[in-house]
Amino acid sequence: METTDVLVIGAGPAGCIAASMLKQQGYNIKMVEKEKFPRFVIGESLLPRVMDHLEEAGYLEDIKAAGFQEKFGAKFLRGDEVCDFNFSDQFSNGWTWTWQVPRGKFDQILSNGAKKMGIDLEFETAVEHIEFNGTDSVTTVVDADGNKKEIAAKFIVDASGYGRVIPRMFNLDEPSNLGKRKTHFTHFRDLKRPGGIDGNRITVVVHQTRVWIWIIPFSDGITSVGFVGDPEFFADMPEDPIERMKHIIASDPNTAERFADAEMMFEPRTIEGYSISTKQLYGEGYVLVGNATEFLDPVFSSGVTFAMESGNKAGKLVGKFLAGESVDWETEYTAYMMQGINTFRTYVSTWYTGELHEIFFSANQDAEIKKQICSVLAGYVWDLENPFVKKHEQAVKSLYKVIELNKA
Ligand code: FAD
């Protein structure tokens, strides 16, 4: 039987960051990944907060060398109304830029980096079964040819993303308290990309109050475009994925001009009901990180940030635990992660009620408040000096009320 200090399940951003934080503390790590990389995964727009994690975990220089599209802010559009956030104009101290990345390539660079650090990573190896005995565990994995083997570990980090290995195996899944949404997306060859900064910038278009579009340009001339909304929005649309995409594109002037005749790089995909939660973020002998915990919604590109934040935090705490120090998982992990997740939850829910649209597109924006909201959108949702983080729900709701009163 193979033995290791820590078994990491999944080599996405959460797994790679957790593995490298543990490696830095001197532990032996075994990482198993079900797929062969590069593999497709959605989640292409990063937030500046990830730069802190890429740097601390030792991946920043490799990612810099890849020449991904730099991202300095985000533009929101509603008809003719524009709301521009520039990350250099924010409240919190932190990074003022990041990248827009095709995830296949990005995740491959991370996993290559992990191997360079001496992390033992096996691709095409899926976790099938886990048997816990206290904090020790024996995990059965199966490779692409169906060969099975067992791995004994002192601790498991579950970074299996949408695979949700431990939540599914031990019945920890909880429905999200956010509405059920659906998305239809593809990549386009973007031959009509506008020149200058405007063409390269991520743009979020309000199509209807509860339907929005992402436009995420990459540095190779390809652009990711996706429609997100209530499932009813997609009812009565053509069944064929390509026809369906053309139909939706044609209904939106902001996208029609640029993408109506553009070549699709793959048949558009539909995902539904991706928001999910979990009963607990840790247990005896394991911790959940990234999408294996809770996934909110794509609208503010928070997924990879949470994946890396939780990977970083969990990696440090597992190391502390294995060193024999006491860890208060509830405070040091769950409460910490929920602080950030719940902050974004407020922004996601008020986006779908339309309250946040009124704030974003208000004609009289207060410069200081805009900086505070900008820091949330940059992923600095643990900066309790920021009133739009500390009292996120109250701050957003009160601001909305003031804007509505001023309209009356
Ligand atoms: P993943 O990146 O999913 O990696 C998990 C890995 O685990 C996978 O490689 C998988 O193959 C492996 N695995 C699964 N099961 C097993 C198993 N049994 N054994 C071994 N390995 C296994 N986030 C953003 O930050 N920006 C965005 O713009 C954005 N847009 C999104 C749009 C949509 C429509 C959706 C649904 C999500 C979006 N996200 C976005 C979220 C983003 O996709 C995820 O939050 C992010 O990929 C989570 O990273 P992770 O490392 O937790 O999981």
Quote the CA–CA distance of 124 and 114 in Å, as a whole number: 16
Q: In the chain, which stretches have pLDDT less than 50?
A: none
> Is the Cβ–Cβ distance between 123 and 114 less than 8 Å?
no
User: Which residues' Cβ are closer than 6 Å to ligand 1?
Assistant: 9-15, 32-35, 41-46, 126-127, 159-163, 165, 183, 226, 271, 274, 290-291, 295, 298, 301, 303-305, 307
**pLDDT score at 330:** 98
User: Which residue's alpha carbon is at the smallest distance from atom 2 of ligand 1?
Assistant: 12
**pLDDT score at 342:** 96
Whether this prediction's pTM lies above 0.85 is answered by yes
**pLDDT score at 361:** 96
Using the mean position of ligand 1's atoms as its centre, give its distance from the Cα of residue 61 in Å. Answer: 22
- Rg, Å, the chain Cα set: 21
CA angle, 379 as apex, 375 and 382 as ends, to 5°?
85
**pLDDT score at 281:** 96
User: Which residue's alpha carbon is at the smallest distance from atom 39 of ligand 1?
Assistant: 43
User: Which residue's alpha carbon is at the smallest distance from atom 12 of ligand 1?
Assistant: 10
**pLDDT score at 274:** 76
**pLDDT score at 279:** 92
Residue of 7, 17, 33 to mutate, ligand 1, most atoms within 8 A of C-beta = 33
Count of Cβ atoms closer than 10 Å to residue 54 Cβ: 25
**pLDDT score at 227:** 96
Give the position of tokens 């640029």.
258
Beta bridge partners of 217: 223
**pLDDT score at 277:** 85
